[in-house]
Amino acid sequence: MDQRVDSNFQNVQLTSSPWANPTPAGLVGLAVACFCFFALLSGNVTKEAMPLLGLWLLGGFVIQFTVAILDYKSNNSTGGNTFLFFAAFFMFVGGVEMLMKYDMIVRQIPFDARIDGWAWAVLTLVLWLWTPAFLKNTVLLFAIVALLDVALPFVALMDLGLIGKSNAFIPAWALLGAGIVGIYLSGALVVNTAFGREVLPLPGPLVP
């Protein structure tokens, strides 16, 4: 028996499946990215951490791409599409950009980072439009998405140069919150599946 999210990411249930639920691994990848971005945006680490962050994000890409494919295989449209664009843009592009940006900074090569703001604006609008779909899942997953809904527009506006870096604490703490919830949800899915019952509380959806 496998505790997994159903085909509409609506609820967690026990079902027979030849494939295990990949969602916990995807949540770990997301939590790592959220914690690391919190550290960077809040000033807990310096820009010299960017190359290492890039490598962690590329590791997250491997996880989230795999999760997306398995979600598609399970006819999980919401999960598959969300993890796929997270894998592509948050993880892969984010990781490669961290490596490239740091190299250009060190070599004093000029670049216009405002293009990132335009891309983040698209990702923000897409996630906002997709957010209602997560109302039919456990409230914990909806909370993660809602916190990302807060963080992403600030990242976009800062990259566009429309607001100052002094506002970075807002997306930083929203991302940390999303990471913490992701860790708990990942743990609940793995532990509850192993025992075949709810050991760690897993609240239901806001919209049945």
Provide the pLDDT for residue 19: 82
What number of other Cβ atoms are within 10 A of residue 125's Cβ?
A: 13
pLDDT tens for 94-111 read: 999 999 999 999 999 999
117 Cα distance to chain centroid: 18
Q: Give the total residue count for the chain.
A: 208
Residue (of 38, 82, 50) closest to 64 by Cα position: 82
Provide the pLDDT for residue 17: 60
Model's pTM, two decimal places?
A: 0.88
> Helices 77-85 and 114-130, interaxial angle, to 10°?
170
pLDDT tens for 110-122 read: 999 999 999 999 9
In angstroms, the Cα distances linking 154 to 49, 51, 137, 160 are 21, 23, 26, 10
Asked whether the predicted pLDDT for residue 2 surpasses 50, the reply is no
Sorting pLDDT into bands at 50, 70 and 90, what band is 3?
very low
Asked whether the predicted pLDDT for residue 193 surpasses 70, the reply is yes
Provide the pLDDT for residue 18: 75
Which of 10-19, 22-31, 169-178 is least confident? Answer: 10-19
